Each structure stands twice: as C-alpha cells, then as structure tokens.
Structure 1
Amino acid sequence: MLDAGLLRALANEKRLAILTWLRDPAAHFPPQQDGDLVTDGVCSLLIAEKLGISQPTCGEHLKILSRAGLIHGTKIKQWVFYRRDEERINQAKALLGGHW
C-alpha cells in the first residue's frame, strides 16, 4: 500500500540526493575514521557536510527517510551511520510504478 510517509520522504530534493549518494557511498564520501562506508554506512556528519546544511536539519531529513524505511541507522561510538534498505526501496519502486 502506498503511504503518505513514503511520498513525503521522496518529495524532497535533498532526501533524494541522500538516497542517491548512499547507493554508492565510496564514490560520494571520503573514508571515515570509524565505520566502513559500505558495510556500516555513512556518518550523518558527512551527509550534512555534503548537503551544506546544519546537523539538526540533516537529522530531520534522515529521520523522515528512516521512518519511511528507506534507510537504517547504526550507532558506532557516538555517531550514527546510515545505509539504504534496498528491499524497502524496491518495494517503493513497485508501489510507485503500479496501477492505483
């Protein structure tokens, strides 16, 4: 079922950019001190820096994407690292491409 949370998550250019960058994090972000870009995800600080926005604003974008199930965060030390949920993204693509 198509839900408003998913549509809200996808209705913003910055959130779409985050999803695009997380598809291939090694190509879009520098190496991190803690956590592997691919297996652990990308630190929210790097995402905020790349977007050119404050950490709290970035956190809101990441929260919306997380609530829609499109990304998942993993805490390592005091930081949260984000990765895409490919299964949920494929479900969303099917929902958006389906007949309604």
Structure 2
Amino acid sequence: MDMEKAVSALNNPIRRQILHWLKDRSNFPPALPEHKDAEGVCVGYIQEKAGLSQSTISAYMNALKQVGFVEAERHGQWTFYYRNEEKIQEFLNAMSDELSIS
C-alpha cells in the first residue's frame, strides 16, 4: 500500500466521514427494489448525504478507490460503493507499525 496516497485520501474530513457512513448500510435510505441484492451504497445516496456535487463525490470516491479503501460495483447506470475492510485494516496496521515506539 502506498502510505502517502492513503494518508492523502484520508486528509479530507468528508472522505473520512464517507468511510464512517459506509460502515453501516442503515446510514442511507433503503436500496430500490431492483438494487436490493447490490452490495454497498449507491453513489447518489452518498452524494445526497454529503450535500456535495456529483463531480466532487465522484472525485472523492475515486481517491478512496485508488488506495483500496472502497470497492465499486456497477449495476446498470448506478455505481455502488462499499468498504474494503481488509485494505483499511492493512493501512491501520502499517500506520501503527510506522508510528509505534520500538
């Protein structure tokens, strides 16, 4: 994992908030019936909750995706995002190792 890119992706309070929101699907409205089997949350719901433009949210989600903190899944015209717990834990372990006193 590129620690500099990971830290940069987290150097924005809204991106950190999005990761927090994605921990629990109930932070968002229920999925539409046609998307009930989709993993994650529709980018439109993330945009609505954050109160930011579609282009800003797309850029934020791309930054989180590039470092592996989220995964994206397409369903028709919709993109759904969910946390990549393994990559988040990998980052936390690496950060702990880097900052711990030896």
For the criterion TM > 0.5, the same-fold answer is yes
Is the 1:22–1:83 Cα contact (8 Å) retained in structure 2?
yes
1:84 maps to what in 2?
Answer: 83
May I ask how many residue pairs the two structures share in their alignment?
Answer: 98
Q: Establish whether residue 99 from structure 1 lines up as the match of residue 92 from structure 2.
A: no
Following TM superposition, the consecutive aligned residue runs of length 4 or more in structure 1 with deviations greater than 3 angstroms are none
How far, CA to CA, are the matches of 1:99 and 1:78 in structure 2?
41
What is the TM-score when the length of structure 1 is the normalising length? 0.90
CA distance in 1, matches of 2:98, 2:72: 32
Number of the residue aligned with 2:39: 40
For residue 35 of structure 1, report the CA deviation from its aligned partner.
2.5
Shift of 1:2: 5.0
* Superposition deviation, residue 25 in structure 1: 1.5
SS at match of 2:73: strand
Unaligned runs of 5+ in 2: none
Q: Output one character per residue of 1:13-59: Cα deviation in whole Å (capped at 9) or x when no partner.
A: 00000100001122x1010214248x510000000110000111100
Select the structure of larger CA radius of gyration.
2
* Structure 1 unaligned regions, length at least 5: none
8 A contact 1:35–1:41 mirrored in 2: no
Q: Contact 1:73/1:83 (CA < 8 Å) preserved in 2?
A: yes
> 1:5 aligns to what SS in structure 2?
helix
Aligned to 2:9: 9
1: CA distance, partners of 2:93 / 2:22: 20
Please tell me whether the aligned partners of residues 2 and 96 of structure 1 are also in contact (alpha carbons under 8 angstroms).
no
Task: Please give the secondary structure, in 1, of the residue aligned with 2:82.
Answer: strand
Residue identity opposite 1:84 in structure 2: R
Amino acid at match of 1:88: K
Q: Which residue of 2 aligns with 1:49?
A: 48
Which amino acid in 2 is paired with 1:66? K
> Could you say what secondary structure the match of 1:48 adopts?
helix
